Chains A and B, each alone.
Chain A
Amino acid sequence: MSIIEAKGLTYTYPGASKQSLQEVSLTIEKGEFAILTGPSGCGKTTLCRCFNGLIPHFYAGELKGSLKVADQNIKEHTIGEMAKRVGLVFQNPENQLFALSVEKDVAFGLENLGMPREQMQKRVDWALKMTGIEDLRERAPHELSGGQQQRVAIASVLAMQPDIIVFDEPTSFLDPLGAQRIFEVISDLNRKLGITVILVEHRLDLAAKYAGHVIIMDEGRIALDGEPREIFSSEQAWLLGVGIPKAVRLWRLLEESGIALKGVPISSDEATQHLKEVLWRR
């Protein structure tokens, strides 16, 4: 059952000479973990802004084509209405946190929706638990590390209990360990709560293994759309200059040298496993 359906989306930012989105069509199934990637300027961030209505309601300019997110036509609903179904976590953790304490920040969205206090408190407690930051409840955002701040941002979006959460390069400012931890939190939300995840990322080495669906964009268009192993092992992905995981690159080099592995590995564990099977023949 599809939860996002885009058909022929075309958009130009006001005053821009080039189109940021050109005839973008895609489908995301409910409960999926999709990775959206592509070179800088390919339109991934613009597409994310469409998913929750920032385009066309916050950013001026005409959005052509159709986009249905969680059964709502994006053009006919306000951003506030969309916020209940789809959440958006941004790149810079610092600029998504407004309040003077973590708890208040997590409640921000719920306060905006006018939720009664007792219900809000329960939701806030739940969101803090789901993201593993209950001990940070009373802390001020400025005292936290980037990774902790990002988890607060995720908790504050999660508290609104959306069906879909879009993450726009959430680990840009984090070190690899911090990034891994964020991916684990995101994966938990996807597996345990069934939240549909769209993750925009460059760091495919770390993130690829979580995805069941990969979309690569280039110059405002969808260039590749399909199953991770298929996409990453394709010639086209290589030519697009996307950060193919090293495990896949190794697989390809071995293939070219006549060593065939059982499948395309998208994580180091998979690669190790495949290599063991091929090399350990005794």
Chain B
Amino acid sequence: MATIEVNDIYFTYPTGVEALKGVSLTIRDGEFVAIMGQNGAGKTTLVKNFNGLLRPSKGKVLVDGVSTKDVSVAKLARTVGFVFQNPDHQLFSETVEEEIAFALRNFGFDAATVEKRVTWALNLLDLTDYRKTSPFMLSGGERKRVALASVLAWDPKVVILDEPTIGQDHRQKENLRQFIVQLNEQGKTVVIVTHDVEFVAECSPRVVLMREGMIIADGEAKRILTDTTLALEASIVPPQIAQIFHGLTFLGLPSDVIDVSEAKKILVEYARGSQG
């Protein structure tokens, strides 16, 4: 069943910038999709059309079969959760607890459910110790977790994360990656907007590559991220493993490798093969 259906949409900002020029896309229940491309390619504009923050000037977007033009943002938000890039753009409450409860109250959950859900979300993101802490007292990474918890609390079917890896160190990215993969394995539809090729190379989702308001590729991560023509067109830097293998194709080695462990396996096999 298609959760999000994008039918040939166009979008122009009031300033006159045409950000989307004929985009079509279908995201099914439970998929894990990475929308990629250079800064300014239209990635964020596209995903903002998924929850009604932006509505296409031409064409339409269907969420669970209903056009986004017919539903309010608040209503769409129940199905499509959006975690913004900068957590400081949403934190305003006195305690982490209040922050997480905010959306739940907006959606009309009763007090008992709010309490339950808040506890669950705190636990999920390892924030139980900070329940009564002011979100402004927390570190950058902790604030990001609060923002994430506040969106997951209402259990939306789809979770969109806009550039979740910015400013994160290696370990934080690792934890995030594992968390996202787990979310997806539990049945959530996950959409990440990112330019971080290495991050994508490690979790291998479906990749939708954009350039200047259009989708130029849609498919397997390893196929798209190793295609040098596409990389040039979309102005992205291929993952380091892909770059390494690009120089080794003359040895007969495959060129669509993005994962380190896979790379090792292939090279070891090749070395043993050429010895014997």
Contact = CB atoms under 8 A, between A and B. Distances in A.
Interface string A243-282: 1111101100110011100000000110111011011110
B170 A175 contact: no
Interface stretch (B5-13, B101-109, B181-189, B264-272): B264-272
Nearest to B253: A279
Contact of A275 (B39, B139, B168, B248): B248
Given A175-B195, A268-B243, A41 B264 contact: no
A72 interface: no
B59 interface: no
Contacts of A272: 243-244, 246-248
B140 interface: yes
Interface stretch (A23-31, A112-120, A176-184, A219-227): A176-184
A40 interface: yes
Contact of A40 (B140, B261, B264): B140
A16 B251 CA distance: 57
Contacts of B244: 247, 250, 268, 271-272, 275
Contacts of A253: 260-261, 263-264
Interface of B: 38-40, 139-141, 166-174, 195-198, 235-237, 239-241, 243-244, 246-248, 251, 260-261, 263-264, 267-268, 270-271, 274
A177 B236 contact: yes
Contacts of B140: 40
Contact of B39 (A41, A178, A241, A243): A178
A280 B247 CA distance: 12
A206 B236 CA distance: 13
B267 A254 contact: yes
Contacts of A244: 170
Contacts of B239: 246
A75 to B, nearest CB: 29
How large, as a class, is the contact surface on chain A? 35 or more
Contact of A246 (B38, B39, B260): B260
A40 B251 contact: no
Q: Which 3 A-B pairs have the closest CB atoms?
A: A272-B247, A243-B170, A268-B243
24 contacts: A40-B139, A41-B139, A169-B167, A175-B38, A176-B195, A176-B196, A177-B38, A177-B236, A241-B174, A246-B240, A249-B260, A250-B260, A250-B263, A253-B261, A253-B264, A258-B268, A268-B244, A272-B244, A272-B246, A272-B247, A273-B247, A275-B248, A276-B247, A276-B248
B195 A40 contact: no
Contacts of A245: 240
Contact of A39 (B39, B169, B236): B169
B39 A175 contact: yes
Nearest to B263: A250
A172 interface: yes
Contacts of B168: 40, 202
A276 B274 CA distance: 13
A243 B173 CA distance: 10
A39 B169 CA distance: 6
Contacts of A257: 264, 268
Contacts of A146: 39
A173 interface: yes
A125 interface: no
A35 to B, nearest CB: 14
A169 B167 CA distance: 9
Contacts of B38: 175, 177
A179 B248 CA distance: 26
A54 to B, nearest CB: 19
B57 to A, nearest CB: 24
